[in-house]
Chain A
Amino acid sequence: MTPRTRRGIEFVLDNLVWFMLLFVLIVFSTFVPNYFQLGIFANIIEASSVLGVLSIGLSLVIIAGHMDLSVESVAALSAMAVGILFCSAGIGIGVQLQPEWLAVPVSLLVAITVGGLVGLLNGFLIVRMKMNAFIITLASFIWVRGLVVAVSGGRSAQDLAPAIRWFGIQRVLGLPLTAWIAVSCFIVFSVLMAKTPYGRHLKMIGGNETATYRAGIRVARNLVIAFVLAGAIAGLAGWLLTVRTSGATANLGVGLLFNAFAAVVIGGVSLKGGVGSLPGVYAGVLLLSSINTAINLMGLPANFTQVIHGLLVLAAVMLDTLKQSVRRRLA
């Protein structure tokens, strides 16, 4: 095999999700009436922004060889915190800041700090106290959601401060600013994972923790940071959720966790750790979103969405096995 064909095949393997996305878009554009429109594509990106941001944090932790089941509840807690502070109806107390735009950085800071703190607690218990990540984050998944329900009393907050709401309305090149925030998050964290020593170390820790420890990499510190980042990013996802819905309810974002896992797995991240890249995860998120859109346009009952998502995860795992065997033959 010439080095050229080898590189070609490796390129396809590395970016398989993107080719799948392209394929799906072409098929839908051909067969689903009204699918091929700029507005539809913009909608796909827009609809995937919250899920996309949430998947970034989840991916970081999974690539580092751990697990974070709490991201969904953390996003809800951050959303509720922002909702209570900056909504003027329902349980919102409508904090007024002067000048008005100050609400934007303050609300962002609140959301990210709330998320980061839960992440720090997860990280401390898992990494420093050496407890099981699955159990600890499952506990967080439950108690954080419980906290959301308790704090809100099961009621909701509405009418978000206009200055924050602006991010969901203002469009640049056909996309609302919230979508641009998600896209830039993917760019920033893709660079972090692929181009900086920190990202490289996380991936290597996910591959063989003993080896990285022996090589003098500060494993515990890097892992705690990963959990804090996952929490903080989930907080940002919660902020986006508040903006999108202009408020917060106690059951905000329920079910997002499973979609995030689906996106991460479809995107080529291995649950065993050490494998995967963020651009792939974004393709996975977009893939889910384009299928949802197609189902909507075809007028199928929404119940089918779940069946298709499940099958898609299965397909992704099988494809991953296939990829592995092709690679082994390449080497």
Chain B
Amino acid sequence: MTEPLLVLEDIRKNFGAIEALKGVSFSIGKGEVVALLGDNGAGKSTLVKIIAGGHEASSGRMLFEGREYRAKTPAEGKAMGIETVYQDLSLCTNVDVVSNFFMGREITRRVLGIPILDEKAMEREVAKALAEAGTRIPSLRVNVEHLSGGQRQAIELNRFVHWGGKLVLLDEPFAALGVEQTRRGLEMIRHVASQGIGVVIITHIMQQAFQVADRIVVIRQGVVAGDVPTHQTTPDAVIRMITGEALAGTGPAAAKR
């Protein structure tokens, strides 16, 4: 594995008497795509929220780039370069691509002391960022509501990369996308990872996990039930880890330890 970006050590989370996470430990490397699998209620979403700052862990610690990391709010996570990309939650569909890309970070120039939006400079930068990522969007001035789900996701991901994101968490990113768009989305995730960004993707679709991920981490009943490099396992083995037919740590992963 490459240099670790985020290390989770014995993360626990209680909601009252319910123990959602019972000591989760794994790590994500720079430029690595980790697929997080598990049945409904296994604790995947809770874990992702703890990483991004939506929840705080009850105990355990996280190391981000070698330093102790703990986010109390999503804003704190974001400031560190960790962000969840939710579908349609982080774009304003009523404005154009450029406005979305620069949301809250607009380039301005002062005219008589009044900040005036520098549209040309912003459009140039967006065009450059999207071209580098290989994303094609017909017009940067078209409102996002007229773009496809795949194009929207491309904008969100590119924006994340452009503003110095280091670890992106994707929760069911292809839930509403067609076959072709999903293929492009998966390609884009590889592209993002190739720039040294860590990617955690939650998905229910085994095929997608095997297409895109370097490593598969299975969460079952609040613990890591399997942590295996994708090329050393099979969908069947992973399904057994999810359903609990195989004991934690068995299967191909056990050989590594």
Contact = CB atoms under 8 A, between A and B. Distances in A.
Asked if A and B bind, the verdict is: yes
Interface of A: 6, 195-197, 200-201, 203-204, 206-208, 210-212, 214-217, 274-275, 327-328, 330-331
Given A208-B92, A208-B93, A196 B117 contact: yes
B138 A331 contact: yes
B104 A331 contact: no
A200 B116 CA distance: 11
B95 interface: yes
Contacts of A328: 146
Contact of A331 (B95, B103, B147): B147
A203 to B, nearest CB: 6
Contacts of B142: 330-331
B18 interface: no
B111 to A, nearest CB: 9
B90 interface: yes
Given A195-B116, A196-B114, A215 B94 contact: no
22 contacts: A195-B117, A196-B108, A196-B116, A196-B117, A197-B108, A200-B99, A200-B117, A203-B94, A203-B95, A204-B92, A204-B103, A208-B89, A211-B103, A212-B103, A214-B78, A214-B90, A216-B104, A275-B94, A327-B146, A330-B142, A331-B142, A331-B147
Interface string B75-88: 10010000000000
A217 B116 CA distance: 17
B91 interface: yes
B115 A274 contact: no
B74 interface: yes
A207 B90 CA distance: 11
B94 A274 contact: yes
Among A196, A211, A212, A327, which residue has the most Cβ atoms of chain B within 10 A? A211
Contacts of A330: 142, 146
A204 B117 contact: no
A212 B94 CA distance: 12
Contacts of B94: 203-204, 206-208, 274-275
Interface residues of B, number: 26
B39 interface: no
B106 interface: yes
Contacts of B146: 327-328, 330-331
Nearest to B93: A207
A108 B114 CA distance: 23
Interface string B116-145: 110000000000000000000011001100
A330 to B, nearest CB: 7
Instruction: Tell me the dominant secondary structure on chain A's binding face.
Output: helix
A154 to B, nearest CB: 44
A214 B89 contact: yes
A39 B51 CA distance: 68
A59 B103 CA distance: 22
A213 to B, nearest CB: 9
B138 A212 contact: no
Interface of B: 74-75, 78, 89-95, 99, 103-106, 108, 114-117, 138-139, 142-143, 146-147
A217 B104 contact: yes
A216 B73 CA distance: 12
Among A206, A215, A274, A327, which residue has the most Cβ atoms of chain B within 10 A? A215
A215 B108 CA distance: 17
A48 B114 CA distance: 29
Contacts of B91: 208, 211
Contact of A200 (B74, B93, B95, B147): B95
Contact of B89 (A196, A211, A275): A211
A195 B122 CA distance: 13
A204 B92 CA distance: 6
Given A200-B117, A327-B143, 19 more contacts: A196-B115, A200-B99, A200-B106, A204-B95, A204-B99, A208-B89, A211-B90, A212-B92, A214-B74, A214-B78, A214-B90, A215-B104, A216-B78, A217-B103, A274-B92, A275-B94, A327-B146, A331-B142, A331-B143
Contacts of A207: 92-95
A197 B95 contact: no
B92 A211 contact: yes
A31 B92 CA distance: 45
A197 B78 CA distance: 21
B61 to A, nearest CB: 26
A197 B115 contact: yes
A206 B225 CA distance: 44
A127 to B, nearest CB: 18
A197 B115 CA distance: 7
Given A196-B116, A197-B117, A215 B90 contact: yes
B154 to A, nearest CB: 15
Given A200-B95, A200-B99, A204-B103, A210 B117 contact: no
Contacts of A275: 94
B141 to A, nearest CB: 8
Given A214-B74, A216-B75, A331-B142, A197 B92 contact: no
A207 B139 CA distance: 20
A170 to B, nearest CB: 27
A217 B92 CA distance: 12
Given A196-B115, A331-B142, A331-B146, A212 B95 contact: no
A206 B95 CA distance: 10
Contacts of A195: 116-117
